[in-house]
């Protein structure tokens, strides 16, 4: 029997074909199978290596895409910030000169004249050279007086023989003696003293001890038939004086917070890192972070000496007060006062903004004493 193998099929067509022995055919088949097995092993090895690379390739592709997306977001964010800066009504000028603040204050201080006149009264309101009355035997009575041009709380008190300005302040509930106006009506008592409204638990004995006046004087001055008093009764305390806080408020010597809305102190007075450069610097006031457009009010009665623009403070206002104090309000979106204008404590002077050297809406508030910086928190309760 002849065995024709596919390994020798072409030779089968030839005329001189001689069949190969079975052993030879099997040997050829083994060689072919071995070659085929080697090819399969090679292909399997290459496929395994390729499969192992797939996760790494996919990982690199994923992070490449993420990088492209991040770059796109950065470009979009930068464009948004640039567009927002262009839309500001008064963009910040970052060409900051730390000496500009000193220049501003020097110009302002040089325009002020500080008087050397001595106060007309002591810290408790007692007038110099006034005779103090200690006997109070007659009921209190009142006289009407119309304020005239040039009058002061001291001159009116002396005119009627009073020894302490607390008397007129208390009897007339004067909130600020610096704004007495010609034509204003006042009640003037014949004794020094203050008005007091009786509270629950008060007794004449207790009031006598508190104010250093006899019970008999309280009875006589108020024309009381008995020592019994009821809550709500209004008494005149002869020789009484206002507490220091009330007196200082009436004299316009106390400060109030320039913001009535809720705020956050974002930077305190003293050493800090510059918000733009990170370099150590000395912060000249306190920063009160609050919404743009929040009303700003005068911290104390005074006269506006500057209302303008600077690269440091943007729109800013400086007010001169009594006793050598000055206050500065910076970064306003706009101010509502002008130079030379007299402002009462709490009066609107502008609105919070982010003009000048600023990182966001806030009020920069500085306080000076005779031209020298002081910590605002030393005079303002926040």
Whether residue 149 is found in the same domain as residue 58: no
Domain that holds residue 182: 142-240
CATH code at 361? 2.70.70.10
Please, what are the averages of pLDDT over each run of 10 residues along the chain (382 residues)? Answer: 48 54 62 61 62 57 66 63 43 40 62 46 75 71 94 92 94 87 94 94 94 92 93 94 86 86 86 58 83 95 92 92 88 96 93 90 91 86 78
Whether residue 309 is found in the same domain as residue 200: no
Whether residue 180 is found in the same domain as residue 213: yes
Q: Note the pLDDT of residue 185.
A: 96
| Contact predicate 134/209, CB 8 Å | no
Q: Note the pLDDT of residue 86.
A: 39
Whether residue 372 is found in the same domain as residue 278: yes
Q: Please enumerate in sequence order all residues whose Cβ is within 8 A of that of 187, keeping only pairs 6 or more positions apart, or say none.
A: 142, 143, 144, 145, 171, 172
Q: Note the pLDDT of residue 164.
A: 92
Residue-wise pLDDT for 331-345, tens only, equals 999 999 999 999 988
Q: Note the pLDDT of residue 114.
A: 43
Domain count, the chain: 3
- Do the domain assignments include residue 224? yes
Whether residue 259 is found in the same domain as residue 110: yes
- Do the domain assignments include residue 178? yes
Q: How big is the chain by its Cα radius of gyration, in Å?
A: 45
Whether residue 103 is found in the same domain as residue 83: no
- Do the domain assignments include residue 128? no
- Do the domain assignments include residue 130? no
User: Final residue of a domain: which of 208, 240, 272?
Assistant: 240
CATH code at 214? 3.10.350.10
Write down the pTM of the prediction: 0.52
**Cβ neighbour number for residue 134 with a 10 Å cutoff:** 9
Run of H or E residues at 288: strand 286-289
- Do the domain assignments include residue 126? no
Whether residue 177 is found in the same domain as residue 226: yes
Whether residue 234 is found in the same domain as residue 151: yes
Query: Over pLDDT 90: what percentage of the chain?
Result: 43
Whether residue 329 is found in the same domain as residue 303: yes
Whether residue 204 is found in the same domain as residue 298: no
Q: Note the pLDDT of residue 285.
A: 86
Q: Distance (Å, rounded) from C-alpha 132 to C-alpha 119?
A: 18
User: Final residue of a domain: which of 205, 240, 275?
Assistant: 240
Q: Note the pLDDT of residue 123.
A: 74
Q: Note the pLDDT of residue 145.
A: 97
User: Final residue of a domain: which of 240, 274, 291?
Assistant: 240
- Do the domain assignments include residue 127? no
- Do the domain assignments include residue 250? no
Question: In the structure encoding, which two tokens stand for residue 134, read together?
Answer: 């200690």
- Do the domain assignments include residue 125? no
Q: Note the pLDDT of residue 91.
A: 35
């Amino acid at each position: 029997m002849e065995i024709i193998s596919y390994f020798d099929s072409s030779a089968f067509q030839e005329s001189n074909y001689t069949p190969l022995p079975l052993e030879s055919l099997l040997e050829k088949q083994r060689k072919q199978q071995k070659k085929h097995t080697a090819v399969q092993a090679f292909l399997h090895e290459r496929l395994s290596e390729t499969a192992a690379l797939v996760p790494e390739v996919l990982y690199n592709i994923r992070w490449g895409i993420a990088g492209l997306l991040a770059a796109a977001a950065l470009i979009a964010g930068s464009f948004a910030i640039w567009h927002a800066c262009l839309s500001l009504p008064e963009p910040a000028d970052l060409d900051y000169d730390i000496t500009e603040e000193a220049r501003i204050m020097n110009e302002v201080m040089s325009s002020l004249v500080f008087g050397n006149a001595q106060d007309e009264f002591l810290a408790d309101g007692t007038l110099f050279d006034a005779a103090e009355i200690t006997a109070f035997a007659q009921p209190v009575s009142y006289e009407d007086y119309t304020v005239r041009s040039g009058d002061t709380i001291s001159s009116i008190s002396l005119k009627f023989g009073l020894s302490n300005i607390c008397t007129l302040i208390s009897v007339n509930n004067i909130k600020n003696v610096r704004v007495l106006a010609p034509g204003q009506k006042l009640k003037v008592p014949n004794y020094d003293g203050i008005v007091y409204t009786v509270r629950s638990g008060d007794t004449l004995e207790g009031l006598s001890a508190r104010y250093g006046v006899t019970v008999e004087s309280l009875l006589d001055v108020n024309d009381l038939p008995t020592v019994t008093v009821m809550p709500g009764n209004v008494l005149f305390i002869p020789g009484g004086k206002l507490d220091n806080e009330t007196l200082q408020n009436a004299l316009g010597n106390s400060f109030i917070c320039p913001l009535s809305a809720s705020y956050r102190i974002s930077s305190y007075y003293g050493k800090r890192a510059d918000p733009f450069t990170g370099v150590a610097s000395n912060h000249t006031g306190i920063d009160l972070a609050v919404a743009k457009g929040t009303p700003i009010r005068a911290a104390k009665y005074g006269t506006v000496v500057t209302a303008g623009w600077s690269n440091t403070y943007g729109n800013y206002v400086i007010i001169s007060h009594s006793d050598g104090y000055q206050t500065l309000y910076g970064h306003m979106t706009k101010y509502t006062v002008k130079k030379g204008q007299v402002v009462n404590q709490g009066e609107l002077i502008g609105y919070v903004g982010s003009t000048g050297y600023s990182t966001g809406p806030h009020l920069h508030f500085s306080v000076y004493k005779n031209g020298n910086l002081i910590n605002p928190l030393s005079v303002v309760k926040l």
